[in-house]
């Protein structure tokens, strides 16, 4: 009897494992097909609109790998995208919606800069973490406001997060161009942070720094947090069905606030690392694009923290390829953006991902 029960449980586990593998293969096949189609459309656009299509195609797809400088900067660009993509993935997985990533990352960059400028003689191992913690806190606070508004008054998070972010961007601009502006620099920027706070470069002459390992480790940790922890389980349950979670005894109000705060913390961290690893100061608009691009990364990754890593690399690759094509061929900025838009639209669409599942279901019905 005991042996029979064990055999049943083993068979059930095998069946579940097979279903997961089949679903993963179906998704991967759909994604590969979608990328192939989108790349074909980009090639067609270049053939039609470029006077030197061969050169343009070469640099669009191969350009990021032709020089160590291009490759390193491409990898460096993916760091911030990993953090903002993780922030969006956590929020979306919990069925909360954060459109305020731009302001959260920008405020994180400012707070990190202020802390580092206020501690010019502090050892890097002390001041650096303090600045990043400050960036996380301010990002979590800015995003948490929208979560609190939703929990307290039912305010739409899409609208409130965007409006709060827009206001925060103006406030940060005021400080960067006003009280914190560096009068010795012709750009709209703060003073440069001390050398001990600048993250170690690992692939010169590019700007790639050691934080890429931290970003990958954070993505792995986030995956295990969402899949293995009690909080992660409740957040996912609220994302699947908030009403059911409520009747199951989960404090659903808390999970309107917590995922938003975590999401904002990731965005603030992205801003802080951008300052410490790439620019060494807070320029006006230093994190522009990180918030919106993080949404694209999370959509490509289907809100899977582990998939955020290749999704961020893919996004950075497309951007680097577009820049290389603009620099070495006759590809215009507009054509590069159209090409990127086509790829992102098709990759984030759902149509082809379930194509093979549908075929399998039809075969089963036919049988």
Q: State pLDDT tens for residues 205-243.
A: 999 999 999 999 999 999 999 999 999 999 999 999 988
| Residue 223 maps to a domain | yes
Instruction: Note the pTM of the prediction, 2 decimals.
Output: 0.89
Number of domains within the chain? 1
Domain that holds residue 255: 76-304
Percent share of the chain, pLDDT over 70: 90
Please give the pLDDT value at position 260.
96
Q: How far apart are CA 274 and CA 212, in angstroms?
A: 11
Q: What is the pLDDT of residue 183?
A: 92
In the predicted model, what is the mean pLDDT of the chain? 88
Q: What is the pLDDT of residue 12?
A: 74
Residue 176's pLDDT is 97
pLDDT range class, residue 3, cuts 50, 70, 90: low
Contact 69, 206 (CB under 8 A): yes
- State yes or no: cis peptide before 365, omega within 30 of 0: no
In a domain, 66, yes or no: no
Answer yes or no: is 343 within a domain: no
pLDDT score for 352 = 56
Q: Is residue 108 part of a domain?
A: yes
Question: pLDDT tens across 31-56, in order?
Answer: 777 788 878 888 888 888 888 889 99
Least confident of 130-139, 167-176, 286-295: 286-295
Whether the pLDDT of residue 365 is over 80: the answer is no
Whether the pLDDT of residue 357 is over 70: the answer is no
What pLDDT, in 10s, does the model give residues 110-120? Answer: 999 999 999 99
CB 102 within 8 A of CB 292: yes
Residue 50 lies in a domain: no
Residue 257 has pLDDT above 60, yes or no: yes
Position 158 in a domain:
yes
Residue 283 lies in a domain: yes
Q: How confident is the model at residue 180 (pLDDT cuts 50, 70, 90)?
A: very high
Residue 282: pLDDT over 90: yes
pLDDT at 149 over 90: yes
| Domain assignment present for 57 | no
Instruction: Work out the average pLDDT over 23-30.
Output: 71
Q: Are 344 and 296 within 8 A, CB to CB?
A: yes
Query: In the chain, what are the helix, strand and coil shares in percent, each to the nearest 5?
Result: 75, 0, 25
Q: Which of 331, 350, 340 is nearest to 49 (CA)?
A: 331
């Amino acid at each position: 009897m005991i042996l029979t029960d064990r055999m049943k449980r083993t068979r059930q586990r095998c069946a579940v494992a097979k279903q997961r593998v089949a679903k993963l293969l179906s998704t991967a096949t759909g994604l590969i097909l979608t990328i192939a189609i989108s790349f074909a459309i980009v090639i067609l656009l270049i053939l039609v609109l470029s006077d030197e299509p061969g050169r343009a195609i070469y640099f669009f797809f191969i350009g990021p790998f032709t020089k160590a400088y291009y490759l390193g900067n491409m990898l460096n660009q993916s760091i911030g995208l990993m953090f903002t993509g993780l922030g969006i993935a956590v929020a979306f997985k919990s069925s909360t919606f954060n459109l305020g990533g731009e302001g959260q990352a920008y405020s994180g960059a400012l707070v990190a800069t202020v802390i580092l400028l206020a501690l010019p003689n502090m050892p890097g191992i002390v001041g650096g973490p303090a600045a990043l913690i400050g960036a996380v806190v301010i990002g979590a606070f800015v995003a948490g406001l929208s979560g609190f508004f939703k929990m307290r008054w039912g305010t739409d998070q899409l609208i409130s997060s965007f409006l709060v972010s827009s206001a925060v961007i103006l406030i940060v601009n005021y400080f960067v161009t006003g009280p914190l502006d560096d009068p010795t620099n012709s750009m709209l920027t703060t003073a440069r942070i001390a050398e001990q706070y600048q993250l170690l470069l690992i692939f010169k002459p590019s700007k790639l720094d050691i934080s890429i390992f931290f970003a990958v480790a954070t993505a792995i940790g986030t995956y295990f947090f969402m899949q293995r922890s009690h909080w992660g389980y409740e957040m996912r349950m609220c994302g699947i069905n908030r009403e059911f979670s409520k009747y199951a005894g989960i404090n659903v109000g808390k999970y309107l606030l917590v995922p938003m705060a975590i999401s904002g913390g990731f965005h603030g961290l992205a801003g802080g690392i951008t300052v410490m690893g790439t620019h060494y100061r807070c320029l006006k608009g230093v994190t522009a694009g990180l918030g919106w691009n993080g949404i694209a990364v999370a959509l490509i990754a289907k809100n899977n923290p582990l998939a955020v890593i290749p999704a961020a690399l893919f996004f950075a690759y497309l951007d680097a390829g577009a820049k290389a094509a603009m620099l070495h061929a006759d590809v215009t900025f507009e054509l590069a953006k159209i090409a990127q838009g086509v790829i992102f639209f098709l990759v984030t669409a759902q149509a082809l991902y379930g194509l093979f599942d549908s075929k399998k279901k039809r075969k089963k019905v036919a049988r």
